[in-house]
Structure 1
Amino acid sequence: MARIAFICPPFAAHVASFRALGEELIRRGHEPFFLLNAGAQAATGDIPVHHVPARAHDPDAAEVLARAENPKGVLATLRTIADSAAMTDQLCAGGVEVLREAGADAIVGDQMEPAGFLLAGAHRLPFCGLAAAVPIDPAPGVPLPFLDWPYQPEEVAKLRRTAAIGDALSRRQNKVIADWAARFGLAPAARLSDCLGTTQIAQMIPALDFPRPEPLPFVPVGPLRRPEELVDVPLPFIRPADRPLVFATMGTMLGGEMKVWRALAEACRQAGAALVIAHGGRLSEQQVAGFGVHHAADFLPYRAVMKAADLVITHGGSNTVLDALASGTPLLVRPVGFDQPGNLARIRHHGLGEKLASLRKPGEIAAQIRRVIGDAQVKANVARVAAALAGTGGAVAGAEVVETLL
């Protein structure tokens, strides 16, 4: 039995992946717990949470999450990086003592939160990195995850320049990493990619990723899901027998964008498709009634709905993309930030869907809906990835990798 600290950004999708891994570790007799920023609230189930103490100059966790709901543009990107740097600094400053008191035996850290790697080094604890989103591990020809660029093995100079731009944008975060690596007496670290560790697991699998040299730097375990999330459940609505079914979700952050739902509702009407939406509790019943969709809810049993759907329209978050493909359903993607452009690039690379057309042109979206649903090659490509995902071990495989550290 081991006490295993989970350190990740307090975003719902990241916490959900860690929770699935944690519940599998509990079944194996271990005691995982979350180490989160001061004031961060997360749906961790039965897995306990320890918070680091807040300092006078620290950002409020709720405000950081609220600002992250609008990740558009360079200024928003810089703001998000600055917030991330401050959150990392807070975890490193308070995490040493909290981990000591909690009696941690190992740490599993999110790739996007370098504090896990740094604190593991400070305590000389075994460390496992987890890529809940698109892996940031560098590889020849693979663009940075926040870009929707194609795989470009011949564009070495261009990708180097882009990496340099990424370093410039991440200057504040890089300084926090370097400062704490020095304070903890660790080997010099200058950027996020220096904090990945030698043992890593990833939700991304080769069948969906860009080509990478073997051996892979991470173990591709596929989607980290709780058992109850994988069980078939009845649909909370009647599936129309005479029309294709389109399921749209923009994640927990972007479900309140009225212009998105208006455009998709109109496009589905023009395409002769029934639209089901999950808006994450961001719309009122009155607002939903105005769209005239087939069904709408705060949350839905995603996998059950995706299996019934002919098409998924999404912002391109990693969990949604993986669940859609595991369900054998193609995608239209409207990325707005984070690793969503990187997911879109991989969807295009493997012929699994398209980028959503402009919201100002519902007619073009309607044409996309008809085209992607009717494309036999897209269906075959999606079926290939679905079969590959079905062969991964998910949380069970992830827990086995973590146990090798112990």
Structure 2
Amino acid sequence: MARFALISAPFASHIRVFEALADRLMGRGHEVLFVLNEGARHVVVSSAPVRTVRSAGRGGLDAVIRRAARPTGPLGILRTVADGADLTDALCEDAPAILKAWRADMIVGDEMEPATGLVAAALGLPFASVAAALPMDVSPGMPLPFLDWPFDPSPEGLKRNAGGEKIANALLTRQRHGIEAWVQRFGLSPRHALADCLSPTLRIAQIVPGFDFPRPPSAIRHFVGPIRGEPPPVAPLLPFEPDPARPLVFASLGTMQGHRLGFFRKAAEACREVGVQLAVAHCGGLSAREAAALGADFVTDFVPLAAVMRRADLCLTHGGLNTVLDALGAGVPLLCVPIAFDQPGIAARIVHHGVGEKLGRVTLSCGRLAASIERLLGASSTRERAAAIGREIARAGGGDLATDLIEAALNGTRASRPEPRVALA
């Protein structure tokens, strides 16, 4: 038996991934502790205990998430970076004492949270990095995950990517300064960027190689596919019954973007123009009055994704990784309208692998939506490519393989654990 501390970014979609790992680890006899920013405790539905650290974000975690859900150009990016750096500061300040008192054996942390690597190094603990979103490390020809650029290993592509990284470094100055300050405080070897805080021994990704840009082989990067909780003994049913004679489009913008009423209205008008059914899951982002006024065939807050993907002919999404992987797992093509975070990079991979199309959020119109919907519903080759990735996902191993890798990583490091770099009471 071992004690695993789980540190996740405080977003529901990320916490669900870590809950799936927590439940498997506990099922194998281990102890698990979530260490999260203040305000995220209520998101956790796992039976694992939760300890929270102070949330340094302006207005608390709810305000941080509201700001992240509404990006507004470069200023919005800088604001989100500053909020993230504040959350990292809170974890670095409080988590070491929590983990030392709890006698953690290993940390399993979110790749988006640099505090994982910083705290693990400070305590001399082994740790695994889990990419609930796109992996943070890139290879030659691969743009940064929050850019919608194509994969291009040519000299021109490499030059373009280098320019993107230069701009990103400027935008991420607040994060870099925070990392460097904690490196100095903990007495660690130099680290400057988020990628420097990833595990040097085990990195786990939810995607599969067939949905990534080309990467050279890696002994530490493992692609396990979607990390999900155990399926219920009885498969849940849809809260509506689609007409089997008409194609069904499923639209969702996830838990952070479900408030976008204008997007759903355009989608409903486009689907009426094409003559197909539209099912909308707004994830609690709309009021009952707004939901009733959409004009879609079916509107609900949440829906069992596996059940709806079995019936859907097309998934209209912002490019959240969990939704995209669930669609591909069922062989459903995608129409992606990226909004923020790694969604542009996911949209680029959708186009790269020919499993769907992407449209720009700013220039989105009913006409463009309708044209893409009609084109994708008639493209059998697109569905075939999505089905091929779905078969790869089914073979990938998912949460069970991820748990195997985490256990093996701990067993391989127990005999040679370094001493902590900081002395904590």
TM-score range, shorter chain: over 0.9
**Cα distance, 1:38 vs. partner?**
2.4
Given the alignment of the two structures, is residue 135 of structure 1 paired with residue 156 of structure 2, yes or no?
no
Q: Once the two structures are superposed, what CA deviation does each residue of 1:286-322 show, in whole Å capped at 9, x if it has no partner? A: 2222223221111000111012100000110111111
User: Are 1:387 and 2:388 matched, yes or no?
Assistant: no
Give structure 1 stretches of 5+ with no counterpart: none
Equivalent residue number for residue 52 of structure 2 = 51
**2:183 counterpart SS class:** helix
- Tell me the distance in 2 between the aligned counterparts of 1:219 and 1:229: 27
- Of the structure 1 ranges 143-152 and 179-188, higher mean CA displacement relative to structure 2 is found in 179-188
Unaligned runs of 5+ in 2: 411-425
**Which range is displaced more, 391-400 or 35-44?**
35-44
The 5-angstrom pairing of residues 7-406 of structure 1 reads 7-41=7-41, 42-53=43-54, 60-154=60-154, 155-198=157-200, 199-215=202-218, 217-228=220-231, 232-356=235-359, 361-406=365-410
Measured at CA, do residues 216 and 248 of structure 1 come closer, stay the same or move farther in structure 2, by a change above 3 Å? farther
Deviation at 1:182, TM superposition (A): 2.0
Aligned-pair distance for 1:231?
6.5
Shift of 1:112: 0.5
210-219 vs 100-109, which moves further: 210-219
Moved more, 142-151 or 44-53: 44-53
Q: Deviations over 1:173-221 (max 9, x none)?
A: 0111111122212211010010111211110111000000112641101
Contact 1:144 1:342 in 2 (8 A): yes
- Secondary structure at 1:405 match in 2: helix
Q: Hey, what's the Cα distance between the residues in 2 that align with 1:53 and 1:156?
A: 41
CA distance in 1, matches of 2:309, 2:217: 33
Aligned partners of 1:325 and 1:216: how far apart in 2? 26
Partners in 2 of 1:311 and 1:210 — Cα distance?
23
Residues 47-84 of structure 1 show CA distances to partners (whole Å, capped at 9, x for unaligned) of 211012456x8761221112111124211111111100
Cα pair distance change 1:23/1:298, threshold 3 Å: same
Q: Is the 8 A contact 1:332 1:353 kept in 2?
A: yes
Give me the CA root mean square deviation.
1.6
Distance 1:283 1:39, change over 3 A: closer
For the residues of structure 2 that align with 1:373 and 1:264, how far apart are their CA atoms? 15
Q: Which moved more, 1:299-308 or 1:214-223?
A: 214-223
- The alpha-carbon distance between structure 1 residues 314 and 216, as it changes in their structure 2 partners (threshold 3 A), is farther
Q: Distance in 2 between matches of 1:30 and 1:350?
A: 39
Does the aligned pair in 2 maintain the 1:72–1:337 contact within 8 Å? Answer: no
**TM-score, length-normalised on structure 2?**
0.92
The CA distance in 2 between the partners of 1:397 and 1:43, in whole Å, is 22
Determine the structure 1 residue equivalent to 2:418: none
Pairwise CA distance, 1:235: 2.1
Separation (CA, whole Å) in 2 of partners of 1:119 and 1:289: 48
SS where residue 390 of structure 1 aligns? Answer: helix
What count of residue pairs does the alignment treat as equivalent?
A: 405
Structure 1 residue 272: Cα displacement? 0.7
TM-score if structure 1 supplies the norm length? 0.96
After superposition, give the CA deviation of every residue in 1:333-370 in whole Å (9 maximum; x if it has no partner).
11111000000000000001001366753122112111
Once residues 54 and 279 of structure 2 are traced to their aligned partners in structure 1, the CA distance between those partners, rounded to angstroms, is 42
Query: Runs of 4 or more off by more than 4 Å in structure 1?
Result: 357-360
Give distance in 2, aligned partners of 1:298 and 1:319.
17
Secondary structure of the structure 2 residue equivalent to 1:173: helix
Find the residue that maps to 2:257 and give its secondary structure: coil
The 3 A distance-change label for structure 1 pair 74 and 58 is closer
Evaluate the alpha carbon distance shift between residue 36 and residue 12 of structure 1 in structure 2; reply closer, same or farther with a 3 A threshold.
same
